[in-house]
Amino acid sequence: MKCLVTGGGGFLGLAIVRLLRARGDDVVSYSRSRHATVEALGARCEVGDLTDATALARAMRGVACVFHVAAKAGVFGPRAEYERVNVIGTTAVVAAAIKAGVPRLVHTSSPSVCFDGLDHLGASNDLPTARSFLAHYPRTKLLAERHVLSWNGRGITTVALRPHLLVGPGDPHLLPRVAERARAGKLWIVGDGRNLVSITDVENAAWAHLDAADRLEPAAPHAGRAYFVAQSEPVAIWSWLAEVLARAGQPGPRGRVPLAVARAAGAVCEAWWAITRRPGEPPMTRFVALQLARSHTYDLGPTQRDCGYFERVDNAQMTERAVRSICAP
């Protein structure tokens, strides 16, 4: 089978490319630059912007399934860039796939489209999407998800997957940033530190994409729907982070900060970054404060039942891989 992976050089995209190539699929990676790691796996790199209809059409030729993974991530930044990549880019990918006659598209969404600042324990597919957002990323990801699912049955079959907090070898974001803050003495527990969180080993997230794609037909139960992806067992996130950091030889959190204090600090930081137009992300935002303090766990029953997904990397293996991701040079 010939597959196209947008963002094939990224953390999750590369994991999907690796699994597809391991089983013998013909793979095209579409991103803004060439990636030696992708080409070393035997995949072909097509270079282009997500909004470039001509480049997308070239990449889509002969493709049987699109994995749309590429996105503008992060918790702070210009609204226009999030909308250009996550909304306009996704619209262009769907349009190109339909025009090229691609029968299936698996879209990488995010559980943050449902995050309303409250605790979510064992949330299933019927969890409502949020009505307001404290960051551009979840808002634009929701718009993208809705667009993808709205086209199901209209020339293409689609599904959206929502992997939560990816960790594992090659992690360029989550745990390396946590470890960096810990080394700088800037890592604090927000809230009471007892919140439960579902996290996801990147290999499990990649397998979920392949499992969903392999069963994706017009009459499939997951066609036109969104599903959460995570480890089968959540973790007490602050205890888990402390364990991972300790095993990696890194310091742990310095202490605790009440959620109200962290949220107020986030509001001040957001305002200051906006007024001064400082580059990068603030050290705290309201969205991050709530994410760090609230419980968010998900029921994988529907994903297992409808998509045929099952966990390949258990929590013990995930933790070991997470430690290695921090220790790796």
For the record, the structure tokens of 258 come out as 């009440």
CA distance 192 to 26: 49
Q: Tell me how far apart the alpha carbons of residues 139 and 145 are, in angstroms, rounded to a whole number.
A: 10
Phi, psi for residue 52 in degrees, rounded to 5 = -90, 100
Please report which helix (H) or strand (E) contains residue 37, including its range. Answer: helix 36-40
Q: What is the DSSP string of 139-192?
A: HHHHHHHHHHHHTBTTTBEEEEEEE-SEESTT--SHHHHHHHHHHTT---EETT
Q: Contact 12/75 with Cβ under 8 angstroms?
A: no
Contact 194, 236 (CB under 8 A): yes
Count of C-beta atoms within a 10 Å radius of residue 79: 10
**Burial label, 296 (beta-carbon count in 10 A; 0-12, 13-18, 19+):** buried
**Tokens matching residue 212:** 């969903």
**What torsion do the CA atoms of 56, 29, 214, 144 make, to the nearest 10 degrees?**
-50
Q: Which helix (H) or strand (E) holds 45?
A: strand 44-47
- Catalytic-residue membership of 30: no
- Give the CA count within 13 Å in the CB-facing half-sphere of 229: 35
Instruction: Choose the catalytic residue: 137, 227, 298, 309.
Output: 137
How many residues are listed for the chain in this entry? 329
Which residues are known catalytic residues?
137
